[in-house]
Amino acid sequence: MDKWFNGFAYDERMSAASPSPSANARSLGAAPGDPPAATAPDPDPAGLTHLDAAGAARMVDVSAKAVTARTAVATGRLHTTAAVVDALRRDGLPKGDALATARLAGIMGAKRTPDLIPLCHPIALHAVAVELAPGTDTVEITATTRTADRTGVEMEALTAVAVAGLALFDMIKALDPAARLDGVRVLHKSGGATGTRNHP
């Protein structure tokens, strides 16, 4: 049965149908006499889950986690000049519609996050929304990402904001080579073991 979260349908059967870690292990079918399977080193005692006790980088094993609905919202700001922002509003840039280009770039960036961030899990993104709001001499960029998976979508939201900002800079750099992108951060996340967190 479909349930709804944040305007998107989520099939609760996904969680029930997901095999347990022990079932996954049985399906691999270790033959009698095979050596014991290698186990990953314990996590770093300092709590950095992407490092083992020896300090080596690793991808965290999330196979035992439950599939849950997860959402993240990230933001960032491009600083430029009032003249450039006015040109953005009028679609008056030599390269064309900069805001539409940046929006699509942000969505594409979110989808390519595991290709850019080495230890980020590839997950099934169910929705990505990128909004660009021109101010007086800034453009506020906000990205919302949603999934039903075993790990969160904060990195996808952050990547969407960063890539949208970079694409926007590329569109305006001929007019303002001193433009800058800053303040990229997570505003909100929900779902998973840590529940909901807000960072206004």
Catalytically annotated residues: 170
Mode of pairing for the β-strands spanning 8-11 and 68-79:
unpaired
Q: Which residues are annotated as a binding site?
A: 119-121, 155-156
- Asked if residues 105 and 163 have their Cβ atoms less than 8 Å apart, the reply is yes
Distance CA 197, CA 96 (A): 38
* 3-state class percentages of the chain: helix first, strand second, coil last, to nearest 5: 30, 30, 40
From the list 123, 129, 6, 128, the residue with the least C-alpha distance to 67 is: 123
SS3 18: coil
